[in-house]
Structure 1
Amino acid sequence: MRKIYKICPASAWREAERQGVFKGSPVDLSDGFIHFSTASQVEETARKHFSGQAGLFLIAVEADALGDALKWERSRNDDLFPHLYAELDLAAVTAVQSMHMRSDGFHDIPELEP
């Protein structure tokens, strides 16, 4: 079972829990897909896109549960990143963790399952 990860503002995630589905963040909606990272990409994603932002969750998702709507596409550093071309069914979520922001504005990243 391969895991992928979404960094998400806690408020947006709480709204998804109320609705039973995550439709995406503003950047996801603008790009037409939900951005995810692999375990090895999370730290750089957090550093590049979420530095200085408090109140974030790290959402673990079972990649195989997303079916054909999940595409692996080249992005930063020519790495393959998981992109979901659908809403995220919360049944595929395996964990939700708070991300602690350090005084330098960067986040502590827990050990993640690949």
Structure 2
Amino acid sequence: MSVPQYIYKLVPSELIVSPLPERLPLSPLDTNDGFIHLSTAAQLPQTLGRYFAKENKLYILRLEYTRIEKVIRWEDPGGQTPGEIGAEGVFPHLYNDGQLGMGEVESVFEVEKDGNNWDLNKIKALEWLLY
């Protein structure tokens, strides 16, 4: 499978400040697991539904893959089993001592729920979600 151009981090709105700091606070899940959970564009709907069902607004951080690929491992969701880049069920995990901030983030997009569902159509129309 090909290497992605971008990978994405979903962040609850309360963890984002503007301008982005050098280091964002980590979620409890990222802190507990010892790495930062990321997703490809194709994985975002699944990640939104599974981990952000109770949120109403969040931010999607877009990271340029080639800038951080040396500290990315492709693994199952729990970070236990290595896998092939971009394979189904294999997610990018950032292992860099929790460093995620303005130096790693290429751009940010705010997204809100439309009723009970996350509306990604606006982002897709802008061609911002890319593999």
TM-score, with structure 2 as normaliser: 0.75
Identical positions, percent: 29
* Larger relative helix fraction: 1
Indicate the structure (1 or 2) with the bigger Cα radius of gyration: 2
SS of the residue 2:130 aligns to:
coil
In structure 1, the gaps of 5 or more residues are none
The verdict on how the C-alpha distance between 1:31 and 1:51 changes in structure 2, with shifts beyond 3 A counting, is same
Instruction: State the partner residue of 2:130.
Output: 113
The verdict on how the C-alpha distance between 1:113 and 1:63 changes in structure 2, with shifts beyond 3 A counting, is same
TM-score, with structure 1 as normaliser: 0.85
Aligned pairs, how many? 112
Query: Which of 27, 36, 39 matches 2:38?
Result: 36
Tell me which amino acid in the other structure corresponds to 1:83. H
Cα offsets for 1:8-54 (capped at 9, x unmatched)? 01221218824x12352111001100000001000110011101302
After the TM superposition, list the runs of 4 or more consecutive aligned residues in structure 1 that deviate by more than 4 angstroms: none
Query: Which of 6, 16, 19 matches 1:3?
Result: 6
In structure 2, the gaps of 5 or more residues are 79-86
Tell me which amino acid in the other structure corresponds to 2:130. E
Aligned CA-pair RMSD: 2.3
